Amino acid sequence: MSSDVGFRSERGPVLASLMVTTGLVAIDATVLATAVPTIVGELGGFAQFPWLFSVYLLAQAVTVPIYAKLSDLFGRKPIILIGIGLFLLGSILCGVAWSMPALIAFRVLQGLGAGAVQPMSITILGDIYSVAERARVQGYVASVWAVSSVVGPTLGGLFAQFDAWRWVFFVNIPLCLVAGWMLVRHFHEKVERHSHRIDFAGAALLAASMTLLILAVLEGGQAWAWDSWQSVASFAVGGALLVAFVLVERRASEPILPLWVFTRPLLLTTTLAGLGVGALLIGLTSYVPTYLEGSLGVVPLVAGAALAALTLGWPLSASFSGRFYLRLGFRTTALIGSAVSLVGTALLAGFATSPSVAVVTIASFVIGLGMGLLATATLIAAQSSVEWNERGVVTGTNLFARSIGSAVGVAVFGAIANSVFGDAVEPAPEAIVAGSAAVFLGVLIVMAATFVAVLAMPKTPVQPAPTAEPAEA
């Protein structure tokens, strides 16, 4: 750890507050799905409602690397408190929204807050827990995501049923206040202050370029055609701004996203693994329910339960991954995880033309087990390779890669599915099976590419240093 940083925090309360804030971010990514009909019924704007999801995820994704760099300059605490504050303000405004455009605008504010909360939570855990302990606490955080994936849609449906969709947002208020208060009281980092030259130009160029490129990927083939002027302009301008960003970062004294992140072999390979994780997850969560409901006619609850097996396997293996990488190393652990997930995706793709709830459930659970080992080992390997003043950037880059992977995955898998589904409003079961089988084959290919990326990881010795701060009081 860098000598200019110290901690005197109570880890139990800090971990609890981070789990609460992580849960808020995770739930708000899915909670609106079941409440949309009620919201549209009151506010109107049916054609605009998909933006409720896109702008939240977009604002979150493009700001992650910016917040991550700022935390390396000024400390984690002020950045995560700013994130919680923005999320709280966004939640209040969403709850009193008077129109669909207003609600969409306030969801952007929520996303800006979420962009700080997610990387800071993972980075703080990397600061206050040793290498040996991080797998266990990462398992706790993974379990929060697992529970949220089930609680989010259920909670949204419950509030919608009682015509109280605004409480989807109001319920965040006390939780944000409690989490913020616990961090203020129990998390104390001593950061030696230095003068810094904030890379405003780099931050602006990164945010603008990623916004246009991710927006083009998310909306291409949906809101507009791939060959439309909107799509061409978004890709062209976004690409030009990205080139300008790279040129600026090469000359900046303290770049917002240092280019060395992509030149160190360990960081490059773990970032590529993050891309694969993001793409794989979006492919499964988007098409497994549609596949089961459309081919077998099962109710959404059953389809959701089959997919939930993935979110059960992930935290289970993540919690035990520390035992693996302390004995076998990060690379070997990630390879084992990749191989397990590869088996699961092969099972899913191999039996796709013969729909079965049991097969999908087993395959999802196996994939989740592999993902828990893969994602945890690669993230902690990246964190452990740098000092405190670089850990924020490294963590943010890994999470940013997952977001980019998800955005690209949405576009690629959507194009694959639509090429089979055609223009039918309700595709026939045979078409759904064929389209889903094609998507699952794509998921298998992504997993194979991820395995190759992990195979290229350098062998890094695991040095389980003592915890970075005293045990909780």
189 vs 124: CA distance, rounded Å: 10
pLDDT at 355 over 70: yes
Nearest to 118 by CA among 263, 261, 320, 278: 278
**In the numeric block, which tokens belong to residue 179?**
């989490």
Q: Look at the block and give the residue holding tokens 């000359």.
A: 251
Percent of the chain with pLDDT over 90: 26
User: pLDDT by residue (tens digit) across 395-411?
Assistant: 888 888 988 888 788 77
What is the per-residue pLDDT for 359? 92
For residue 172, the enclosing domain spans 7-185
Nearest to 19 by CA among 109, 136, 192: 136
What is the per-residue pLDDT for 217? 79
If pLDDT is split at 50, 70 and 90, which confidence band does 454 have? very high
Mean pLDDT of 27-33: 72
Q: Point out which residues pair with 190 in neighbouring strands.
A: 6
42 and 69 share one domain = yes
Mean pLDDT of 297-314: 78
365 and 230 share one domain = no
96 and 212 share one domain = no
User: pLDDT by residue (tens digit) across 380-393?
Assistant: 899 888 888 888 88
229 and 274 share one domain = no
Domain boundary among 153, 185, 217: 185
34 and 154 share one domain = yes
pLDDT at 5 over 50: no
Domain membership flag for residue 469:
no
pLDDT at 6 over 50: no
Q: 227 by DSSP, 3-state: which? A: coil
Domain boundary among 211, 230, 253: 253
57 vs 15: CA distance, rounded Å: 24
Report the number of distinct structural domains present in the chain: 3
**465: exposed, middle or buried (Cβ count in 10 Å: 0-12, 13-18, 19+):** exposed
Nearest to 99 by CA among 56, 49, 50, 158: 49
User: pLDDT by residue (tens digit) across 308-353?
Assistant: 788 788 888 888 888 888 888 899 999 999 999 999 999 999 999 8
Nearest to 137 by CA among 42, 18, 1: 18
Domain membership flag for residue 62:
yes
User: pLDDT by residue (tens digit) across 201-243?
Assistant: 888 898 899 888 888 877 777 777 778 888 899 999 999 999 9
What is the per-residue pLDDT for 466? 38
Q: Where are the beta strands (DSSP E) in 32-138?
A: none
Domain membership flag for residue 194:
no
- The string over 211-242, giving b where at least 16 C-beta atoms fall within 10 Å of a residue's C-beta and e elsewhere, is bbbbbbbbbbbeeeeeeeeebeebbeebeebb
pLDDT at 191 over 90: no
Task: Of 83-97, 417-431, 436-450, give the lowest mean pLDDT range.
Answer: 417-431
230 vs 418: CA distance, rounded Å: 20
What is the per-residue pLDDT for 350? 93
270 and 355 share one domain = yes
If pLDDT is split at 50, 70 and 90, which confidence band does 30 have? low
Domain membership flag for residue 33:
yes
DSSP-assigned states of every residue in 292-357 = HHHHH---HHHHHHHHHHHHHHHHHHHHHHHHHHHHH-HHHHHHHHHHHHHHHHHHHHHTTTS--H
Residue 7, H or E segment: strand 5-7
Q: Which pTM value belongs to this model? A: 0.81
Range picked from 68-77, 88-97, 156-165, 310-319 for highest mean pLDDT: 88-97
Helices 36-43 and 131-161 pack at an angle, to 10 degrees, of 50
User: pLDDT by residue (tens digit) across 44-55?
Assistant: 776 676 677 778
Domain membership flag for residue 317:
yes
313 and 435 share one domain = yes
What is the per-residue pLDDT for 315? 82
Task: Of 61-65, 108-112, 265-269, give the lowest mean pLDDT range.
Answer: 61-65
pLDDT, mean over the chain: 83
Range picked from 106-110, 136-140, 403-407 for highest mean pLDDT: 106-110
232 and 340 share one domain = no
Domain boundary among 130, 152, 185: 185
- Structural contact between residues 119 and 80, judged by C-beta atoms closer than 8 angstroms: no
If pLDDT is split at 50, 70 and 90, which confidence band does 149 have? low
- The string over 439-450, giving b where at least 16 C-beta atoms fall within 10 Å of a residue's C-beta and e elsewhere, is bbbbbbebbeeb
More confident residue, 369 or 134: 369
242 and 263 share one domain = no
408 and 376 share one domain = yes
242 and 150 share one domain = no
| Residues whose CB falls within 8 Å of the CB of residue 101, separated by 6 or more in sequence, listed in order | 45, 48
Domain membership flag for residue 406:
yes
Task: Of 93-102, 120-129, 171-180, 403-412, give the lowest mean pLDDT range.
Answer: 403-412
Domain membership flag for residue 190:
no
Q: 189 by DSSP, 3-state: which? A: strand
DSSP-assigned states of every residue in 450-462 = HHHHHHTPPP---
What is the per-residue pLDDT for 100? 87
40 and 179 share one domain = yes
Nearest to 453 by CA among 278, 213, 311: 278
Domain membership flag for residue 2:
no
Task: Of 77-91, 267-281, 321-335, 413-427, give the lowest mean pLDDT range.
Answer: 413-427
Q: What is the CATH number of the domain that holds 449?
A: 1.20.1250.20
